[in-house]
């Protein structure tokens, strides 16, 4: 495990974590050759759609089909970041066209970008340099529900309680512990 990095554990329904099967992990992409090998297993139609990604605690990118659960892609383990990723083939080269931390299973903070950056660089993928569709997650200290903060409105959509300005999922009980 990398030191000094935030680890995100599953904060989604416990039955999702319980359903993770051995061997369901996403494909590890740790080099340009790994990415080329993974591309060879994808259809043209698949490549037009976003994929599920996680950055494992070892700092390596894992990819799985979009309909995959992120916690399954991570093999049930914590992650350094996770979300959805889309690729584009441009000027004879594959690159990341869109990338988001959007998923409620891990609710990664925007500060997880450096782990994504390092993994994409190691895989030899050009990228936009940041999350193209950033999502701010907060857990309500009152009702413990997961929330997406929109338009700088830090209010729980369930109970109306005030949401903290700082990412707070490690400070409250998780659902997949």
Averaged pLDDT for residues 52-71? 94
Answer yes or no: is pLDDT of 42 > 70: yes
Residue holding tokens 């869109």?
98
The secondary structure element, H or E, covering residue 93 is strand 93-100
Mean pLDDT of the chain: 91
pLDDT for residue 81: 97
The residue ranges of every structural domain in the chain are 14-134
- pTM comes to 0.91
Residue holding tokens 């700082």?
166
Q: Is 89 helix (H, G, I), strand (E, B) or coil?
A: strand
Percent of the chain exceeding pLDDT 90 equals: 77
Positive or negative: CA dihedral 43, 47, 51, 54: positive
Backbone angles phi, psi at 45, to 5 degrees: -65, -40
Backbone angles phi, psi at 96, to 5 degrees: -80, 125
pLDDT tier, 172 (very low <50, low <70, confident <90, very high otherwise) = very low
């Amino acid at each position: 495990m990398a030191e000094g990095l935030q680890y995100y554990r599953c904060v989604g329904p416990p039955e999702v974590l319980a359903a993770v099967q051995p061997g369901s992990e996403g494909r590890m992409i740790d080099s340009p050759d790994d990415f080329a090998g993974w591309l060879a297993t994808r259809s043209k139609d698949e490549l037009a759609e976003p994929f599920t990604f996680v950055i494992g605690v070892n700092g390596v990118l894992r990819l799985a089909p979009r309909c995959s659960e992120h916690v399954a892609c991570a093999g049930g383990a914590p992650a350094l970041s996770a979300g959805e990723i889309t690729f584009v083939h441009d000027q004879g080269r594959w690159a990341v066209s869109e990338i988001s931390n959007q998923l409620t299973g891990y609710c990664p903070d925007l500060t997880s970008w450096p782990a994504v950056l390092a993994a994409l660089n190691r895989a030899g993928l050009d990228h936009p340099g940041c999350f193209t569709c950033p999502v701010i997650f907060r857990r309500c200290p009152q009702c413990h529900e997961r929330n997406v903060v929109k338009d700088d409105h830090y209010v729980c959509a369930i109970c109306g309680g005030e949401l903290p300005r700082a990412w707070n999922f490690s400070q409250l009980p998780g659902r997949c512990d």
